[in-house]
Amino acid sequence: GGEGEGDGKSGGTGKTRGKKGFLSKRGHVVKNWKTRWFHLEEGGRLGYFRTPQDAKPAGVVILDNTYVVTNDIHPRDRGKAPTNFVFQIMKGKEQILIMCANSKEEEESWMESIQTMIEGDNDTKEKEKKDYEMFGEEEELDEDESIQ
């Protein structure tokens, strides 16, 4: 027996323009897991709703300066999760949102979409930041190798 991969191939090409779907999220105060309808919006916002029909989100996460990880999740947080496919949005060392997908594929898809959104968002902001933030730019020292 072999584990067949790619039963449901989702042809995800090009830039992600938003994403919607059910994920479980962990509560901030009461640390229990609830299923929410998530909507990743193009402006770099991740909103979650109690039902897909809800007009108003139960909460919104601004993805500015955040990143997505699957590690660094405390076993205590992970332990009560509905599935093992737990990932979180971090801002610095702060946990913004801990979520749980139904499958590995779903987890990777959401993480990729969120990451793409964050990076796309950063591209826009980068132009404004250029004045005072100059890290990550490689300058070639061909002409003047000697640094005095």
- What domain range is 85 assigned to? 19-120
Lowest mean pLDDT segment, chosen from 2-11, 58-67, 92-101: 2-11
Instruction: Give the integer Cα–Cα distance in Å for 59 and 49.
Output: 7
10: in domain: no
103: in domain: yes
Can you give the pLDDT at residue 126?
55
58: in domain: yes
106: in domain: yes
Examine the pLDDT at 77 and tell me if it is beyond 60: yes
137: in domain: no
Over residues 92-130, the pLDDT tens digits come to 989 899 999 999 999 999 999 999 999 886 665 555 555
CATH number at residue 33: 2.30.29.30
Concatenated DSSP letters of 50-110 = SSTT-SS-SEEEE-TT-EEESSS--HHHHHTSSSS-EEEEEETTEEEEEEE-SSHHHHHHH
Phi, psi angle pair for 98, to nearest 5°: -110, 125
Can you give the pLDDT at residue 28?
82
Greater pLDDT, 93 or 143: 93
How many domains, the chain? 1
33: in domain: yes
